[in-house]
Amino acid sequence: MHRGVSPRTTSRTALFTCLAIVLATTMVQGTLSTAESYQGIDRCALVETLQFNGQAANASVQWQVDLGPRLPGSEVSANFREAITENLTALDYEVSTQEHQRYDMNLTNLFAKWSPDGTSSGLLVLSAHYDSRNIADQDTNESNRSQPVPGANDAASGVAVLLELAKHIPSMGLNHDVILFFNDAEDQDQQYTLGAEAWAENLTEEEVASIHAFVLLDMVGDADLQLHNILPGNDTLKSRVVDLATDLGMVNGTVDCSGAAGEDIVQYDTLVGVLDDHVHPHELGIPSIDIMDTTYGEPKPYTFGSYWHTMEDTPDKVSAESLGAVGRLVELGLRTYAFVDIAEDLDGENTTEPTESSNNTESEEDTGSKSLAALAAIGLFSVLTLILVVEWKGKP
Strands 187-188 and 191-192 turn out to be antiparallel
Longest alpha-carbon distance in the chain: 59
Q: How far apart are CA 84 and CA 345, in angstroms?
A: 36
Chain-centroid distance, C-alpha 85: 21
Spell out a b/e string for 69-85, using b for 16 or more CB atoms within 10 Å of the CB, else e. Answer: bbbbbbebbeebbeebb
Minimal distance, residue 236 CB to Zn ion, in Å: 27
Which residue, among 31, 293, 314, 286, has the nearest Cα to 179 in the 3D structure?
Answer: 286
8 A C-beta contact, residue 150 and residue 314: yes
Minimal distance, residue 39 CB to Zn ion, in Å: 36
Per CB under 5 A, which region of 53-61, 67-75, 185-193, 352-360 contacts Zn ion?
185-193
Among 61, 112, 124, 154, binds Zn ion (CB under 5 A): 154
Minimal distance, residue 159 CB to Zn ion, in Å: 13
Per CB under 5 A, which region of 181-189, 205-213, 359-367, 384-392 contacts Zn ion?
181-189
Measured from the CB atom, the residue of 305 and 327 that comes closer to Zn ion is 305
Is residue 341 involved in binding Zn ion (CB under 5 A)? Answer: no
Cis? peptide before 155, omega within 30° of 0: yes
Measured from the CB atom, the residue of 132 and 360 that comes closer to Zn ion is 132
Per CB under 5 A, which region of 124-132, 154-162, 205-213, 239-247 contacts Zn ion?
154-162
Per CB under 5 A, which region of 183-191, 240-248, 268-276, 364-372 contacts Zn ion?
183-191
Among 131, 139, 187, 290, binds Zn ion (CB under 5 A): 187
8 A C-beta contact, residue 304 and residue 3: yes
Measured from the CB atom, the residue of 164 and 276 that comes closer to Zn ion is 276
Please state, as a whole number, how many other Cβ atoms lie within 10 Å of the Cβ of residue 117: 7
Number of chain positions touching Zn ion (CB under 5 A): 2
Minimal distance, residue 82 CB to Zn ion, in Å: 24
Is residue 139 involved in binding Zn ion (CB under 5 A)? Answer: no
Q: How far apart are CA 211 and CA 208, in angstroms?
A: 6
Is residue 197 involved in binding Zn ion (CB under 5 A)? Answer: no
Is residue 290 involved in binding Zn ion (CB under 5 A)? Answer: no
Measured from the CB atom, the residue of 147 and 252 that comes closer to Zn ion is 147
8 A C-beta contact, residue 158 and residue 217: yes
Minimal distance, residue 231 CB to Zn ion, in Å: 17
Q: How far apart are CA 45 and CA 250, in angstroms?
A: 17
Side chain identity, residue 379:
G
Minimal distance, residue 329 CB to Zn ion, in Å: 21
Helix (H) or strand (E) holding 245: helix 235-247
Minimal distance, residue 1 CB to Zn ion, in Å: 5
Minimal distance, residue 149 CB to Zn ion, in Å: 8
Helix (H) or strand (E) holding 84: helix 75-90
**Which residues of this chain interact with Zn ion, rule CB under 5 A?**
154, 187
